[in-house]
Amino acid sequence: MQKLLGKINQRIASLKIPAKPAQLYNPVTYTLSLGGKRMRPLLTLLGYSLFKKNYERALDAAIALEVFHNFTLLHDDIMDNAPLRRGKQTVWQTWGSSTAILSGDAMLILAYELLADYEPVVLKKILPVFNKTALQVCEGQQLDMDFESQKNVSIADYLYMIELKTAVLLGAALKFGAIIAGAKKKDAELLYEFGKNTGIAFQLQDDILDVFGETEKVGKQTGGDIISNKKTFLLLKAFELANKKTTAKLKLLLNEKDEQKKVAGVKEIYHQLDVKKLAEKEMQKFYKKALSSLEKVNADSKKKKVLTDFTEQLMQRQS
């Protein structure tokens, strides 16, 4: 895993990002230098490695997904008014919203450039997957924003939103690797399902960490979802379980101007209703569903174990 991560970081560092105009490209370089788990490119390489040895053939596709993912983060941080990303100041906070939008757009184009180097027979298969996934991510983000003003949002609505916004990109990462390796269509689809359901579990865990994690470990402001009234699994489940008195208190807290008081009050209700435990149970449900798909993939069990070892680490993370 460390070897793969090293190759990914080397390839990112070697990207030929133009120097001028600096105001456009400096934020791109800054964003890609922040690091992170590199989960999506790692999954692409692991997906490829299930079927073939020369994983470097899938490297550009892996980097394309990482660049695309970081492009979405630039825009998401503006929409969420997020001050921190991976423990550092967000691009819009440093360079302004207009530059962050434009730099993000440039990253999307850079992602397409990385894919364009594949031979036509491969490009014909991966480009539709990329395009569909990119649109789904946009749809998921729009649903997320719609939920801010929508009164009646169900847990099913929320799970569908995170499937689009977060999970499909993990599925696409594994499917990219399988396609480039020449895997059978059925195996590529099973890997996609494994990645997608792992992604839903990962996002549920992210929701938990946003509330109950430590800023130093998480790398972003804790309680941010509570402050912005995001309709996460935790909040929706709290409303589902709360009695009239607790529901009224929760609604008052969502309108509280004092951020510290708001976060502390909502967390207290979460503790009372034990919604953290219920979120963890939901997370495990999707991860077990993911593992069920992986078991059906026609590949060496030792190679599949490398993949499950990686995802197990993700499911047990503290940041």
Cβ-based burial of 11 (10 A; exposed 0-12, middle 13-18, buried ≥19): middle
160 has a pLDDT exceeding 60: yes
Cβ-based burial of 234 (10 A; exposed 0-12, middle 13-18, buried ≥19): buried
**In this predicted model, which residue has the larger pLDDT, 221 or 229?**
229
217 has a pLDDT exceeding 90: no
Average pLDDT over residues 198-222: 81
- Identify the weakest region by mean pLDDT among 109-123, 163-177, 221-235, 244-258: 221-235
234, two tokens: 């935790």
Cβ-based burial of 270 (10 A; exposed 0-12, middle 13-18, buried ≥19): buried
Contact yes or no for 234/266 (Cβ under 8 A): no
Residue 5 pLDDT level (bands cut at 50, 70, 90): very high
| Highest mean pLDDT (candidates 9-23, 211-225, 304-318) | 9-23
User: What CATH number is attached to the domain comprising 306?
Assistant: 1.10.600.10
Enter the pTM of the model: 0.92
Per-chain mean pLDDT for the chain:
94
- Percent of the chain having pLDDT more than 70? 97
The pLDDT tens digits of the residues spanning 62-87 come to: 999 999 999 999 999 999 888 888 88
85: number of Cβ within 10 Å: 21
The pLDDT tens digits of the residues spanning 178-188 come to: 999 999 999 99
The pLDDT tens digits of the residues spanning 269-283 come to: 999 999 999 999 999
- Which residues share a beta bridge with 85? 88
Smallest CA-to-CA distance from 48 within 197, 163, 187, 186 is with 187
How many folded domains does the chain comprise?
1
Contact yes or no for 86/220 (Cβ under 8 A): yes
92, two tokens: 């819009």
Residue 10 pLDDT level (bands cut at 50, 70, 90): very high
CB under 8 Å to 48, separation ≥6 — which residues?
55, 57, 58, 177, 178, 180, 181
* pLDDT at residue number 221: 61
Range of the domain at 33: 2-315
Average pLDDT over residues 282-310: 96
